[in-house]
């Protein structure tokens, strides 16, 4: 098994999921979610007690040849991506997993061992038949604890019932400092142009240092590296900003990103360049939605999944968290030098993501239509949330 190829497959799946997830959100809304968190929950579901049909659907969706391949990818992520390096100056990152399973279900002891020792998950036998609401609150409390109190009420009222058999959950937390922080002195209010033709005044961060920026056909890409720990030799994290040239070009850019294999690896600024102008807005957003209908369109028709995520970026760095609950209800690039003295002014809707460079893992992805909008939101129009 080629681990690198398997990781590339997972990155491609993450971008397909991102395209469907962002396009299914309410029109022109700020969105943030974590493909990595959703992937972890789905992987546990595939490996758990659930039958060959569900596992087969998941393997097809994740473009994996076997459960063993999924476990190899999971092991790589756990050892490289999800290791906390905050003590040596790197990003603080935690990933927690859990399985709540009804006591009445016949299960092989090997599954308990698999979840506790391989997935490092809490394995909790519960009574969904008579204590469904209590279990819902327990899972929500667990999520809140493992996301540094950022994700609350992941599972909404009525989402856990006496028919629920299992809940697979993942909680992810990330906090990283920019390798080159912004000076607060240079932060100024400027106009951000909305797709309806109006504008809002929001704080923009700026810097006179050279930046990792590259211009492509119809859009520009900015890469902001996070500071690495002194012992962080096997990984590095960056936040990417994808800015369409047209103020209303976000939908076209999203479609291109989601449908082009290898898009992320093909659009990486590799060196710092002097910019004519450089500004990006500060923002803080939260978004929650049911992933069920998105997964259904992608071929996973036996899951009821809820997801919430949030992110805040400022002059010092970024803090983000995400949580996913999956309920089972018994039903190398060519070098082309870009033109000098370009600019990167993110004053209209853009895409962003946080990625681990060595593995290609996409931790968080989102879109900003209005950085002045409310810091929390959800897709309340979905069928299940």
Same domain, 137 and 41: yes
Residue 311 has pLDDT above 60, yes or no: yes
Q: Are residues 243 and 322 in the same domain?
A: no
Whether residue 341 is contained in a domain is answered as yes
**Judgement on whether residues 222 and 344 belong to the same structural domain of the protein:** yes
Q: 139 with 212, same domain?
A: no
| pLDDT at residue 374, as a whole number | 61
**What CATH number does the domain containing 353 carry?**
2.30.39.10
Phi, psi of 20 (to 5 degrees): -70, -40
Could you tell me the pLDDT band of residue 376, with boundaries at 50, 70 and 90?
Answer: very low
Q: Are residues 198 and 76 in the same domain?
A: no
Question: Residues 12, 160: one domain?
Answer: yes
> Which tokens sit at 247?
């103020």
- Number of structural domains the chain divides into: 2
Q: Are residues 18 and 156 in the same domain?
A: yes
56: containing domain: 3-177+284-328
Residue 307 C-alpha from the chain's centroid: 10
Q: Does residue 266 sit in the same domain as residue 293? A: no
CATH code, 313: 3.30.497.10
Q: Residue 33, class by beta-carbon neighbours within 10 Å (0-12 exposed, 13-18 middle, 19+ buried)?
A: buried
313-359: pLDDT as tens digits: 999 999 999 999 987 654 433 334 444 568 999 999 999 999 999 89
Burial of 375 (0-12, 13-18, 19+ CB in 10 A): exposed
Distance of alpha carbon 196 from alpha carbon 18, whole angstroms: 24
39 plus 90 within the same structural domain: yes
With bands split at pLDDT 50, 70 and 90, how would you rate the model's confidence at 109?
A: confident
pLDDT level of residue 232 (50, 70, 90 thresholds): confident
Kindly state whether residue 375 falls inside one of the protein's structural domains.
no
Q: Is residue 239 domain-shared with residue 278, that is, in the same domain? A: yes
- Domain assignment of residue 9, yes or no: yes
For residue 334, the model assigns a pLDDT of 35
Note whether residue 162 is domain-resident. Answer: yes
* Range in 5-9, 66-70, 141-145 the model is least confident about: 5-9
pLDDT band at 158 (very low <50, low <70, confident <90, very high): very high
Q: Are residues 137 and 207 in the same domain?
A: no
Note whether residue 376 is domain-resident.
no
Question: 3-state DSSP: the chain helix, strand, coil percent, rounded to 5?
Answer: 30, 30, 40
Q: What is the pLDDT of residues 292-310, one digit of tens each?
A: 888 888 888 777 899 999 9
In a domain, 380, yes or no: no
* Percentage above 90 pLDDT, the chain: 64
Residues 162, 199: one domain? no
Mean pLDDT, residues 48-68 taken together: 81
- pLDDT of residue 233 exceeding 70, the answer is yes
- By the 10 Å C-beta count (0-12 exposed, 13-18 middle, 19+ buried), 378 is classed as middle
Question: Is residue 228 in some structural domain?
Answer: yes
Determine the pLDDT at residue 11: 87
Q: Which of 110-124, 125-139, 221-235, 296-310 has the lowest mean pLDDT?
A: 296-310
pLDDT exceeds cutoff 80 at 52:
no
As a whole number of Å, the CA-based R_g of the chain is: 21
pLDDT beyond 60 at 134? yes
Cα angle: 302, vertex 53, 139; to 5 degrees: 45
Per the prediction, the chain carries an average pLDDT of: 89
Helix axis angle for 3-23 and 67-76, nearest 10°, is: 90
Query: Residue 57: what pLDDT?
Result: 86
Tokens coding 301: 């028709």
pTM of the model as a whole: 0.92
Residue 153 domain-assigned (yes or no) = yes
Predicted pLDDT at 384: 38
Q: What pLDDT, on the 0 to 100 scale, is given for residue 364?
A: 97
pLDDT per position as a tens digit, 83-96: 898 999 999 999 99
| E strand or H helix that includes residue 44 | helix 35-47
pLDDT tens across 241-279, in order?
999 999 999 999 999 998 888 899 999 999 898 998 999
């Amino acid at each position: 098994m080629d681990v690198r190829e398997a990781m590339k497959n997972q990155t491609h799946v993450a971008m397909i999921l991102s395209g469907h997830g962002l396009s299914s959100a309410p029109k022109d809304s700020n969105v943030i979610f974590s493909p990595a968190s959703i992937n972890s929950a789905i992987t546990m579901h595939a490996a758990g007690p659930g039958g060959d049909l569900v596992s087969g659907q998941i393997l097809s969706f994740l473009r994996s040849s076997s459960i063993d391949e999924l476990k190899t990818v999971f092991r790589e992520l756990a050892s490289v991506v999800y290791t906390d390096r905050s003590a040596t100056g790197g990003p603080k990152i935690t990933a927690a997993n859990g399985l709540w399973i009804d006591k009445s279900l016949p299960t092989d002891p090997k599954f308990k061992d698999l979840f506790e020792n391989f997935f490092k998950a809490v394995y909790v036998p519960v009574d969904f038949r008579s204590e469904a609401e209590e279990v819902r609150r327990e899972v929500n409390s667990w999520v809140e604890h493992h996301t540094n109190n950022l994700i609350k009420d992941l599972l909404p009222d009525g989402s856990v019932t006496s028919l629920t058999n299992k809940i697979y959950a993942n909680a992810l937390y990330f906090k990283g400092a920019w390798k080159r922080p912004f000076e607060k002195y240079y932060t100024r209010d400027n106009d951000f142009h909305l797709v309806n033709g109006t504008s809002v005044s929001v704080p923009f961060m700026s810097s006179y240092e050279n930046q990792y920026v590259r211009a492509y056909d119809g859009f520009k890409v900015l890469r902001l590296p996070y500071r690495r720990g002194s012992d962080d030799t096997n990984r590095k994290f960056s936040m990417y900003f994808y800015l369409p040239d047209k103020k209303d070009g976000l939908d076209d850019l999203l479609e291109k990103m989601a449908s082009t294999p290898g898009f992320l690896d093909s659009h990486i600024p590799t060196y710092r360049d002097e910019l004519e102008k450089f500004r990006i807005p500060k923002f803080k957003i939260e978004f929650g939605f049911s992933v069920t209908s998105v997964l259904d369109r992608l071929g996973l028709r036996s899951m009821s999944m809820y997801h919430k995520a949030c992110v805040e970026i400022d002059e010092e760095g970024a803090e983000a968290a995400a949580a996913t609950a999956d309920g089972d209800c018994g039903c190398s690039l060519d070098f082309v030098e870009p033109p000098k003295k370009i600019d990167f002014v993110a004053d209209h809707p853009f895409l962003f993501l946080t990625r681990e460079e060595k593995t290609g893992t996409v931790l968080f992805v989102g879109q900003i239509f209005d950085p002045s909008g409310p810091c929390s939101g959800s897709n309340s129009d979905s069928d299940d949330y």
